């Protein structure tokens, strides 16, 4: 089994689109897809609603997606061709508590693809790609923490270093260095196209190496 992890600097940078695009391009790998969401204090992992954490301890929850209409992120995974899709919700910093349940579902998978940064702390992927958008100022701590683990960078346009300029304007993130990912392949994309043939061939090549 091969495990691929797609991370990214923030919300809305295209992580879900990359996962769905790879599933669609590599359907013959029979993917089980996982989306991991970590909620802040006061949000229930069971349903994503506000809760009284003094009376409820829903540290994590996991549910299987069955709807193939593409309305949710995990539904998009099924629509793209995943055999199964799971949505894992945890309180911030408590992903480890969901690991036994995740590993049980991994044991049933032929190949797995995750949308997450933090899972890299607990599961060693065969390939970790991070999605970066120079126009987005937010840069998650988890994305920074595992930048040196990235096998490749998927970059929205622009240039591969934070101190360079894009279209004459500075990148939106500040005090973030991409030096930990220096020397890694950088695949430039222009949304709404998030998965190019070059990216597909890179991933396919890693998958073939895994099989050898």
Distance CA(99)–CA(44), nearest Å, equals 18
Does the domain made of 3-211 have the CATH classification 3.40.50? Answer: yes
pTM for the predicted model, two decimal places: 0.87
pLDDT band at 177 (very low <50, low <70, confident <90, very high): confident
Q: State pLDDT tens for residues 136-148.
A: 999 999 999 999 9
The pLDDT > 70 percentage for the chain reads 84
Q: State pLDDT tens for residues 95-117.
A: 999 999 999 999 999 999 999 99
The domain locations on the chain are 3-211
DSSP H helix total and E strand total for the chain: 5, 10
pLDDT of residue 51: 52
Name residues whose C-beta falls within 8 Å of residue 144's C-beta, 6 or more positions apart in sequence: 176
- Identify the burial level of 186 via C-beta atoms within 10 angstroms of its C-beta, where 0-12 means exposed, 13-18 middle and 19 or more buried: middle
């Amino acid at each position: 089994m091969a495990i691929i992890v797609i991370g990214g600097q923030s919300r809305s940078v295209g992580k879900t689109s990359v996962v769905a695009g790879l599933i669609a391009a590599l359907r013959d790998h029979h993917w089980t897809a996982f989306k991991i969401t970590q909620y802040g204090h006061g949000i229930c992992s069971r349903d994503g609603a506000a809760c009284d954490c003094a009376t409820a301890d829903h540290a994590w929850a996991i549910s299987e997606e069955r709807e193939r209409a593409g309305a949710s992120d995990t539904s998009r995974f099924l629509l793209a061709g995943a055999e199964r899709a799971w949505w894992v919700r945890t309180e911030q910093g408590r992903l480890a508590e969901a690991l036994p349940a995740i590993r049980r579902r991994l044991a049933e998978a032929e190949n797995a693809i995750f949308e997450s940064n933090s899972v890299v702390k607990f599961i060693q992927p065969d390939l970790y790609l991070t999605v970066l958008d120079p126009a987005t100022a937010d840069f998650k701590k988890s994305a920074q923490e595992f930048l040196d683990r990235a096998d490749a960078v998927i970059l929205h346009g622009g240039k591969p270093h934070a101190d360079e300029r894009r279209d004459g304007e500075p990148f939106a993130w500040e005090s973030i260095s991409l030096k930990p990912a220096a020397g890694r392949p950088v695949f430039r994309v222009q949304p709404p196209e998030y998965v190019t043939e070059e990216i597909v061939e890179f991933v396919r090549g890693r998958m073939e190496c895994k099989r050898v």
